[in-house]
Amino acid sequence: MQAPTFFILTALAAQPLHGYGIVQSVARLSDGEVNLRPGTLYGALDRLDQQGLIAVDREESVDGRLRRYYRLSDSGAAALADQADRLRRHAAAAGRQLALRPGTAGGAA
């Protein structure tokens, strides 16, 4: 799972959001490392919807423009949980290897 997808699903984990809300949430959650452009965002949202990982929650008209809200599906929540677990395992493996590095508290001198 690519970082933008991971953060889009993470942004939708707590509540449904519209496109701009997703962009803001992803920027905040990634500490500014992932900045989604509209074309990238809406392409990803279409793909995630087709994969069943998200769904349209509702649509509202705001100032004459349609605002679509997306929510995380049960399948999306499971995929996000699996990816979060995988990332934890990978980070732990990196930590163990770094601890073996010479000159560190856990490694040989």
Structural domains counted in the chain: 1
Task: Say whether pLDDT at 109 is over 60.
Answer: no
Asked if residue 105 is part of any domain, the answer here is no
Under 8 Å CB-to-CB from 16, ≥6 apart: which residues? 57, 58, 69, 70, 71
Structural domain that includes position 22: 3-99
Task: Say whether pLDDT at 99 is over 70.
Answer: yes
SS3 71: strand
Note the pLDDT tens digit of each residue in 43-93: 999 999 999 999 999 999 888 888 999 999 999 999 999 999 999 999 999
Domain of 18, CATH number, reads 1.10.10.10
Note the pLDDT tens digit of each residue in 19-37: 999 999 999 999 999 999 9
Asked if residue 106 is part of any domain, the answer here is no
Query: Are 73 and 53 spatial neighbours (Cβ–Cβ below 8 Å)?
Result: yes
* pTM value > 0.85: yes
Query: Are 5 and 41 spatial neighbours (Cβ–Cβ below 8 Å)?
Result: no
- Residue 13: predicted pLDDT: 97
Q: Give me the percent of the chain exceeding a pLDDT of 70.
A: 94
Task: Say whether pLDDT at 107 is over 80.
Answer: no
SS3 84: helix
CA distance 102 to 19: 47
